[in-house]
Amino acid sequence: MATNESSITVSPELKEYIQKKQKDYRVNTTCAGPLILPLEMKDNKPTDIVINVGDQKLYISAVQARFVKHVDLSMLCKCVME
């Protein structure tokens, strides 16, 4: 089953965070599950799903896009929140 941008929702809090930081982010696959990192730490891939968040972009890995229906702040790596 194909997943498209409209089938994945992004919490208002995460949208606000992304716009405030003025950076693009990516939902990555890790051994602990989905994890959001800025593109400075992990580049996007051509196969990613792209969600526009204002002037910024949120990339969802093709692997995670098959399973993730909602993206929120709990997926953001705590190391980038400082």
78 three-state secondary structure: helix
Nearest Cα to 58, choosing from 77, 79, 38?
Answer: 38
Domain definitions of the chain by residue range: 5-76
pLDDT one-digit tens code per residue, 51-78: 999 999 999 999 999 999 999 999 998 7
Q: How far apart (Å, rounded) are the C-alpha atoms in residues 21 and 16?
A: 9
Contact at 8 Å (CB) between 56 and 18?
Answer: yes
Tokens read off for 8: 């994945």
Given 3-state DSSP classes, what are the helix, strand and coil percentages for the chain, each rounded to the nearest 5? Answer: 30, 35, 40
Can you tell me the mean pLDDT for 9-32? Answer: 96
The yes/no answer on whether domain 5-76 falls in CATH 1.10.3680.10 is no
